[in-house]
Amino acid sequence: MQNLDSIGTQIRKLREEAEMPLRKLAALLDIDQSTLSKIERDERRANTQIIEQIAKIFKADKEKLLVAFYSDVVMYEIQDESSFSEILQVAEAKIEYQRTTKKKTK
Amino acid sequence: MQNLDSIGTQIRKLREEAEMPLRKLAALLDIDQSTLSKIERDERRANTQIIEQIAKIFKADKEKLLVAFYSDVVMYEIQDESSFSEILQVAEAKIEYQRTTKKKTK
DNA sequence: TACATTTGGACATATTTTGTCAAGAATAAA
DNA sequence: TTTATTCTTGACAAAATATGTCCAAATGTA
């Protein structure tokens, strides 16, 4: 089953399992410890660069972390919409369509 | 079947079906005509306020337009991710979970 | 040509995000 | 308790994005 923990919670769990202080992980990531604290509590957005580094540091599955990250992003965008389920369906269809027609990124 | 046209394309179609010049619709929406031109070509984001007004002006289904709008937003966020399908699944599960536990918006 | 409509680009302003700091709160150790 | 360590909070400026506006260029139509 998929992990429904937020990206922040997942980062915190990885860090605590490794018994690494927040301050030290922040230093490895080259960000302020207050920023990392906020990321772990989902008060600030992480970004893909940070996630990639974290995957390396803790030898975690990068793809799974990215799924957690982006699903959070999507969730925040549409959580208050009653038609959220249809929105996701249509988004998926649009992306699939895009791929079959091989649109280039301008 | 769902309408996979972008929100911009849908707005343009509604306007053209009503044979209303862009300039006039822009005036009704109280935005610059160049802004509307960009929205119709998906060069600028629409917003929910504009969409609600358009639904009223053309007596269109507001919910369907919102689905088009938000699915575009979601698509742009994750279109380059190989795991897009899983991301959407997880996002849906997160939103559903949130609703069963009735989290309040702070 | 003349006229109406749409598009493109430049620019200023506004809003949002990000980075940084320092002090306060919480936790653990002595 | 006192001290040390860790984490959180809030304030602030700087950077990055988004938005609003103007107007000339392009396109289309009579």
Give A21 CA → D3 C1' in Å.
19
Distance from CA of B33 to the nearest CA of A (A): 24
Distance of alpha carbon B78 from alpha carbon A76, whole angstroms: 14
For residues A36 and A65, is the Cβ–Cβ distance under 8 A?
no
pLDDT of residue A18: 95
Give A50 CA → D14 C1' in Å.
21
Q: What is the CATH number of domain B7-78?
A: 1.10.260.40
Q: Which of the nucleotides in strand C have any atom less than 7 Å away from a protein CB atom?
A: 4-10, 17-23
The verdict on a CB contact (< 8 Å) between A75 and B98 is yes
The verdict on a CB contact (< 8 Å) between A70 and B85 is no
Region of B47 (left: φ > 0; alpha: ψ -120 to 50; beta: rest) is beta
Handedness of CA B104, A91, B9, B77 (dihedral sign): positive
Return the structure tokens found at A87.
């929105």
Q: H helices of chain B, where?
A: 7-17, 22-29, 33-40, 48-58, 62-78, 84-100
pLDDT band at A2 (very low <50, low <70, confident <90, very high): confident
Which among A62, A63, A58 is positioned nearest to A14, based on CA atoms? Answer: A58
DSSP characters over A1-57? ----S-HHHHHHHHHHHTT--HHHHHHHHTS-HHHHHHHHTTSS---HHHHHHHHHH
Q: Is the pLDDT of residue A12 over 50?
A: yes
pLDDT of residue B71: 97
The verdict on a CB contact (< 8 Å) between A75 and B83 is no
pLDDT of residue B106: 34
Q: How many CB atoms lie within 10 A of CB B45?
A: 14
- Would you list the domain boundaries of chain B? 7-78
Residue B75 makes CB contacts below 8 A (sequence gap 6+) with A91, A94, A95, A98
**Interval A38-62: pLDDT, tens:** 999 999 999 999 999 999 999 999 9
pLDDT of residue A103: 57
Q: Is the pLDDT of residue A106 over 90?
A: no
Parts of chain B with a pLDDT under 50: 105-106
pLDDT of residue A102: 62
Distance of alpha carbon B56 from alpha carbon B62, whole angstroms: 8
